[in-house]
Amino acid sequence: AQSVTQPDIHITVSEGASLELRCNYSYGATPYLFWYVQSPGQGLQLLLKYFSGDTLVQGIKGFEAEFKRSQSSFNLRKPSVHWSDAAEYFCAVLTGTASKLTFGTGTRLQVTL
Amino acid sequence: NAGVTQTPKFRILKIGQSMTLQCTQDMNHNYMYWYRQDPGMGLKLIYYSVGAGITDKGEVPNGYNVSRSTTEDFPLRLELAAPSQTSVYFCASSRIDTQYFGPGTRLTVL
């Protein structure tokens, strides 16, 4: 069965520091992968997605993610974090029919000033 | 273009009461979904629909019902509310491969 693991429940970084959020997936075929962000009290917003092609994908708000098939990973990165990036981040994989998603349990990012 | 809208934003129910969570999308998407989000658990799929008149169970359907009479609307019904249904509920829609989410409904059952 498909699954997504986000090993870090909570991460704290200083404003201006770099960020990497980890995501590992389990999927038999070529995965379609997503990162979503959820600000407090809000819905989920799509940051970026990977379907095929270039393994480094660019998203909104200065985020990027790299697909590594050999490591079954799709880690999210940002070179310099802003205080407004504090939120919860979810990795997801497209699953089966009807474009269903399987989500990881999320990583909560705290940004210190 | 409002995207996916959900009402109400907040609701408190007593055990055994019923209610309907409303979801509407104006993007003409065929696929629609209902998720619940519990702390530390990510999002779990309750029900989904691939078009008007077609619905199917997701991972956690017990205690819920849905209908899809139009492309735009996908209401979620709780018939006999239980404390275990205290959660944040999200509706989403998709045309092909990318889901877009509503702002959520926070439900508390006491």
Half-sphere exposure of A67 (CA within 13 A, CB side): 20
Residue A28 has pLDDT above 80, yes or no: no
Residue A85 has pLDDT above 80, yes or no: yes
* Per-residue pLDDT, A73: 96
* Per-residue pLDDT, B75: 98
Half-sphere exposure of B51 (CA within 13 A, CB side): 1
User: Model confidence at A44, in pLDDT bands (50, 70, 90)?
Assistant: very high
Which residue is associated with the tokens 């980890």?
Answer: A22
Residue B41 has pLDDT above 90, yes or no: no
Separation of alpha carbons A112 and B7, rounded Å: 34
CB pairs under 8 A between A and B: 52
Residue A67 has pLDDT above 80, yes or no: yes
A51 backbone φψ class: left, alpha, beta (φ>0; ψ -120 to 50):
alpha
Q: Are B60 and B44 in contact (CB under 8 A)?
A: yes
The partner residue sitting opposite A46, judged by closest CB among B96, B98, B104, is B98
Q: Are A25 and A3 in contact (CB under 8 A)?
A: yes
Q: Are A65 and A59 in contact (CB under 8 A)?
A: yes
Mean pLDDT of chain B: 95
The partner residue sitting opposite B42, judged by closest CB among A34, A94, A105, is A105
* Per-residue pLDDT, B72: 97
What is the arithmetic mean of pLDDT over B31-58? 94
Residue A1 has pLDDT above 80, yes or no: no
* Yes or no, beta carbons of B42 and A36 under 8 Å apart: no
Q: Are B102 and B90 in contact (CB under 8 A)?
A: yes
Separation of alpha carbons B39 and B94, rounded Å: 25
* Yes or no, beta carbons of B97 and A94 under 8 Å apart: yes
B 30-49: CB under 8 A from A: 31, 33, 40-45, 48
- Among chain B residues, CA nearest to A105: B42
